[in-house]
Structure 1
Amino acid sequence: MRKRWIGRWLMAIGVLHIALGLFTYRRTFAGMLSSGVWNTLAGHPDRELSFWFVVSGWGLLFGGGLLDRLETADVPLPQWAGWALLAVAGIGILAEPMTGFWALVPPAIGTLRRAGTV
């Protein structure tokens, strides 16, 4: 059985993204809560940014969990998952070179290797 690290790597990024987002944007989230939550994003770019920052962390957590499950079963990882991770990383890096998107490159390459692509 191969070492499980790809899904765990993505889950760790997800947890860090959620924690960092909740801490960094705590005042923004407090403002959203005091506004009643319902329909509190539209017209507030700061709220939209904080919301999607945290939600993207949940996406990484869930996607990482699924890949970890496949790694546990010791089955080939889906090639599309590696390409998708690499595409997201590439677009993010092009848009903002000094970014956390670089952290997606190792699991993207690892996924492609496990899929037998590279």
Structure 2
Amino acid sequence: MKRWLGRWLLGVGVLHVAYGLVRYRPGFAAILDHGFWNALPGHPDRELAFWFVMSGWGMLFGGGLLHRLEAAESRLPRWVGWTLLIPAVLGIALEPATGFWALLPPAIGALQRARVHQAGAAA
């Protein structure tokens, strides 16, 4: 099987972090101007900037782990696909013009791969 799930998620993570650093630059500038320590509470613009970029780091982490699982040709647990699919569906339903669409391909791919492994183990 082609190994693309982890790379896809890594790519989404890189784009998320890069976009966040550019898009929310004023929020990050305000964090630095404040002196960094305790710079988020009471400032929704700063909180949004921080958590947007941190979620990208989470995708990088997950993508790296998924890439390692694929490289080791390990059996992919179904929960990996569900963990990607549930927030994708919720995010798309709440805001259709969103980047959550980028989670659908690896979510579906992970669920299909888990099903193939499960079917192969049963045979």
Q: What is the CA distance between 1:25 and its match in structure 2? A: 1.1
Q: TM-score, normalised by structure 2?
A: 0.91
Larger of the two Rg values belongs to structure: 2
Show CA shifts across 1:60-118 (max 9, x none).
00001000000001112111010110001011011101111011001000001111179
Q: Paired residue for 2:54?
A: 55
Opposite residue 10 of structure 2, the aligned amino acid is M
Q: TM-score, normalised by structure 1?
A: 0.95
Aligned-residue identity in percent:
64
> Hey, which bits of structure 1, 4+ residues long, moved more than 2 A?
none
Q: What is the CA RMSD across the aligned residues, in angstroms?
A: 1.3
Structure 2 segments unaligned to the other structure (5+ residues): 119-123
Q: What is the CA distance between 1:26 and its match in structure 2? A: 1.2
Q: What is the CA distance between 1:11 and its match in structure 2? A: 0.4
Number of equivalenced pairs: 117
Cα distance in 2 for residues equivalent to 1:28 and 1:67: 31
Show CA shifts across 1:11-58 (max 9, x none).
000000000000111121011011111111111111111110000000
- Name the structure with the higher helix share: 2
Cα distance in 2 for residues equivalent to 1:40 and 1:47: 8
Cα distance in 1 for residues equivalent to 2:24 and 2:83: 28
